[in-house]
Amino acid sequence: MNKEIFKKIILVSIATTLMGQVYINPFNSDFRLSIGIAILIFLLLKFNDISILLTTMCTALSVFIFRFSIDFIQLNKIASVSDIALKHLPSAVFYIVFGMALYQLHIRDYKEQPIFFIFLVAISDILSNVSEVAVRQEFTKASIESILTSIFTAGFLRATIAFLLLSSIKAYNMLILKEEHQKRYMSLLLFTANMKSEVFFLKKTMQDIEQAMERCYSIYSELKYKDEVLNIDYTNRLKDRILNLSKDIHEIKKDNKRVVSGIERLLPQKEKENVMKISTIFKLLSDNTVRYIEDIGKEIDIFTDHIDNYIVKDYYPLISIINNLISNSIDAIENNGYIRISQYTKNNYIVFKIIDTGIGIKKEDIKVIFEPGFSTKFDKNTGHMSTGLGLTHIKHIVDNYFKGKIEVISQMRQGTSFIIYIPINNIVVEEARE
């Protein structure tokens, strides 16, 4: 027997012994019915790796020693040691018989079958109580009918309590498991959304590289046919340099293409099921934001509302957009405030509005906030400025992927609103439109 199992057996014995002090005396004698037996059953099923027989024997010994010690301290002047021992020995008999009954009935095999479980535990309880009553000779002191009625009632009641305890713990564990699964799912969802955002930006970079390569080749072609006008040696050197530059750019494009292909293989492929309701998107983002706000210690309230509950397709880029704007809003709010995420339909656009009560954006900065590299964020821990690519990503996705537009309204010390317009046809599943 290893230490962990030994500790569990001792824990079960002590817990049962202590809870055994919550009892009633139905026959006005030393016989008692306690809640301890329900705790014993629950713990025997909770700890599957401990022996039922060994644990109930240890519990019997623990109950006997504990009750004997209490009475010995209180009654040592009016009762002998043997009398006190005989008074509590039947209690030990109860636990030994109870353990043997549970072991013979293989009670752990029936914990997923409520009716059989309650019946078998009740039978074990009744048999043990009858054994204890017989040892105490209670049948000669009280009505057999009243004794058996109390024993049967207690047996089924304690079996039911034990089952309810076990079911409650299982339900609680399932809830914890569900919450952990939800956290992992949200982390994966945001990771995928952010990765897809990076892929969109890489594709844009590839397009820029392609255009730069075409311009280099165009200059090379022009110089190629103007050798007679310009210095031949100079133009040859220039042509070679431009041609080499064009080749280097082409290599960068190929490397980028490999990176994009590799990332896209890791990301979920487009499927018919790649859809999600707006209400679900808002709930996922809201729950994740609340956890993050609690972690950083700010007092920020999150509100969400939507007029339509459309089913949207390709929800990853949408989640990436909204989550980035929420992160910016959290950074813009110094200590306390609120963020409101709302949705409505205007003309042929589905509109998402993210409002915060942060410090706001300067009027002269609004024109350049979407430019690559622009940032006012400063990390006090690292001393580094932000990359300034978050809003650039957002605008690129809205403009080029969704073919929509984004507007900004801000007042210093009042807050900021980002309003995103996306054509309904480009985001809403066709059969979900009204």
Q: What are the sequence ranges of the domains in the chain?
A: 3-175, 192-266, 275-432
CA distance 65 to 84: 11
Q: What is the pLDDT of residue 218?
A: 73
Helical residues (DSSP H) of 225-314, grouped into ranges: 232-266, 278-296
Strand, helix or coil for residue 29: coil
Strand, helix or coil for residue 169: helix
What tokens were used for 21?
Answer: 């002090």
Q: What is the pLDDT of residue 205?
A: 66
Q: How many CA atoms lie within 13 A of 222 on its CB side?
A: 7
Sites in the chain below the pLDDT cut of 50: 272, 384-385, 434
Query: Where do we find the tokens 């105490």?
Result: 136
Which tens digits make up the pLDDT trace of 293-319? 988 889 999 999 999 888 998 787 888
Backbone angles phi, psi at 300, to 5 degrees: -125, 125
Contact status, residue 169 vs residue 143, Cβ threshold 8 Å: no
CATH class of the domain whose range is 275-432: alpha beta
DSSP 22: S
CATH class of the domain whose range is 3-175: mainly alpha
With both helix axes pointing from N to C terminus, report the angle between 144-224 and 232-266 in degrees, rounded to the nearest 10: 170
Question: How big is the CA angle at 100 (ends 95 and 104), to the nearest 5 degrees?
Answer: 150
Q: What is the pLDDT of residue 220?
A: 66
Instruction: Provide the terminal-to-terminal Cα distance of the chain, rounded to the nearest Å.
Output: 67
Q: Is the pTM of this model over 0.75?
A: no
Which tens digits make up the pLDDT trace of 145-188? 777 887 888 788 888 888 888 888 888 778 777 777 777 777 77
Amino acid (one-letter) located at 236: N
* CA proximity to 418, closest of 346, 325, 347, 349: 325
